[in-house]
Amino acid sequence: MSRIGIKPITIPDGVTVDVTGNVVKVKGSKGEISMELHNAVSASVADGAITVKNNNNSKTSRAMWGTTKRLIENMVHGVSQGFEKKLELNGVGYRMALKGKQIDLALGFSHPVLVDIPEGLTVEIDKMLLTVTGVDKQAVGQFAAEIRALKPVEPYKGKGFKYSDEIVRRKEGKKAAAA
C-alpha cells in the first residue's frame, strides 16, 4: 500500500480542480495546468480534497498511485504559489541579458549564446542571478537544467552556472615544482 498515495490532497482557497474522465485540470491565481492520468489510477474531488485510487492491485497501478498523487499535488502548489529556480553565473567576462523572449549569454565562447524562453515560464535577471519561475515544476526544473548545462560550474575557479543553493567543492590546482 502506498503511504504517499493514500493521503488526500487538500485544495487551498482560490484553486479549482476539475476531474473529467482521466484528465485533471487545476486552475489558480498563477495559471492553469492539466494532466492526463494513467489508466491504472483514478482521481476524484470531494469535501475540498483530491483522492487518488489505484484501479487494480497490479504492480503498475501501485507504482503509479503515489507518483500520480505527487504530480497532482505539484500542480496544486504550482497554480497557487508557483515554482522557481535560481541560477548564479560566476566568472570574469561572463554576462547575461534579456532580449524579448530570449536570453543573451556571454559565456566565454567565441559567439554569444541565445536561448529561447519556453512558453509558460518567466525569467528575471538581476546582475548575475537568473530566476526561472512558472506553474509547472517539471518545465521550470528542465529549463534551469538546460541553462546550467551550457556552462556548468567547474571546480578549480568556480566559473559557470550553479544553482543558488548548490555547494561547489573546490579543488586545489597544480603545485609548482620545487627546484
Which option is the CATH number for 83-163: 3.90.930.12, 3.40.50.720, 3.20.20.100, 3.30.930.10? 3.90.930.12
Q: Do domains 9-80 and 83-163 have the same CATH topology?
A: yes
Domain extents for the chain? 9-80, 83-163
Give the pLDDT of residue 177: 67
CA atoms within 13 A on the CB side of 39: 1
Give the max Cα distance, the chain. Answer: 79
Cα separation, 23 vs 81, whole angstroms: 22
Task: Rounding to the nearest 10 degrees, give the CA dihedral for residues 5, 10, 12, 16.
Answer: 70
In this structure, the strands spanning 41-46 and 113-116 are unpaired
Could you report the per-residue pLDDT of 67-124, keeping only the tens digit for each?
999 999 999 999 999 999 999 999 999 999 999 999 999 999 999 999 999 999 999 9
Helix (H, G, I), strand (E, B) or coil at 147: helix
Q: Which residue has the cell 554569444?
A: 112
CATH fold group of domain 9-80: Outer Surface Protein A; domain 3 (3.90.930)
Could you report the per-residue pLDDT of 153-172, keeping only the tens digit for each?
999 998 999 999 989 898 98
Please state the pTM of the whole predicted model. 0.89
Contacts of 119 (CB under 8 A, 6+ apart): none
